[in-house]
Amino acid sequence: MSDTEHRTGSDTGGTPDLPVTRPVALISGGSRGIGRAVALRLAEEGYDISFCFRGDEQAAALLEKELTALGARAFAARVDVTDAEGVRGWVTRTEEEFGPVAVAVTSAGITRDKPLLMMSDTEWHEVLDTNLDGVYHVCRAVVYPMLKRRAGAIVTLASVSGLLGNAGQTNYAASKAGIVAFSRSLAKEVGRRGVRVNAVAPGLIDTDMSAVLGDGIKEEVAGRTALGRAGLAAEVADAVAYLASPRASYITGAVLPVDGGL
């Protein structure tokens, strides 16, 4: 195991002859924000968790400890989701360590907000490469094993920006709208083989990503929501956990806004 990969475990309470097995959830961008909240929520629901992170090893190590405390096995890998080979290696290693991936959640994402006239080519491509290509790389790596088993759930993280548009976010909105179309199309491809694909579209959520907006902008957006406030990462995680679960067994190709009525 490399120095950027970690695996922790706990006594699951089983016996050597009859071990207790937990389903496996794989989460991209899992060390912070919504991805972190999703990892904790799915661990509470009884999943072992494999997540990737790009740079914050301290946050990843802290999350591993929290997941272990919840009784989950945890596997963290430093992976850039723009790297297709790296993503495939992470998925393969996850299945070698923990078993087949039952749920995949694509949460890795970045912003490079700027009016189009001021946006550089690099700022456009960085956002599309991470947010949209990253979803493709993760889903491409997990979907074939799911199809072979005729079971699996994929939940992608889109955004209300991809549904409504947002000034200063042409790159981000385009990437998130692409995720919506990608998810709906993939759902139609794989549904007959027992694999479900849904998207969650958060609005203004109180995370590190939204912190850069400044209080004035956040207050203005919150004022336009029906509930009059920003959401919490845990509230998005609850929606993801529902769509990933058997409770949503007849839901696929859906886009669930978690935006306070924006």
Ordered by where they begin, the domains of the chain are: 22-257 (3.40.50.720)
C-alpha closest to that of 40 among 8, 13, 62: 62
Q: C-alpha angle with apex 76: 71 to 78, nearest 5 degrees?
A: 170
- pLDDT reported for residue 16: 47
| 49, 67 contact by CB (below 8 A) | yes
- Whether 172 sits among the annotated catalytic residues: the reply is yes
Query: What pLDDT does residue 217 have?
Result: 64
Which has the closest alpha carbon to 105: 208, 242, 259, 262? 242
User: pTM (2 decimals)?
Assistant: 0.90
Q: How confident is the model at residue 221 (pLDDT cuts 50, 70, 90)?
A: confident
Query: Residue 93: pLDDT band by 50, 70, 90 thresholds?
Result: very high
Q: With 70 as the cut, is the pLDDT of residue 210 above it?
A: no
**What is the identity of the amino acid at 253?**
G
Is the confidence at residue 60, as pLDDT, over 70?
A: yes
- Does position 5 have pLDDT exceeding 70, yes or no? no
Q: What percent of the chain has pLDDT over 90?
A: 84
Confidence check: pLDDT of 26 > 50: yes
Cβ contacts of 60-68, under 8 Å, gap ≥ 24: 60/6, 60/30, 60/31, 61/6, 63/30, 63/31, 63/36, 63/39, 64/6, 64/8, 65/8, 66/40, 67/8, 67/39, 67/40, 67/43, 68/8, 68/9, 68/10
pLDDT band at 173 (very low <50, low <70, confident <90, very high): very high
- The stretch 42-56 carries a mean pLDDT of 96
Residue 162 dihedral angles phi and psi, to the nearest 5°: -75, -15
Q: Which range has the worst mean pLDDT, 2-11, 32-41, 222-231?
A: 2-11
pLDDT at 49 over 50: yes
pLDDT at 12: 41
With helix as H, strand as E and coil as C, how does 32-74 read?
A: CHHHHHHHHHHHHCCCEEEEEECCCHHHHHHHHHHHHHCCCCE
Among candidate residues 47, 136, 144, 172, the one labeled active-site is 172
How far apart are the C-alpha atoms of 243 and 235, rounded to whole Å?
13
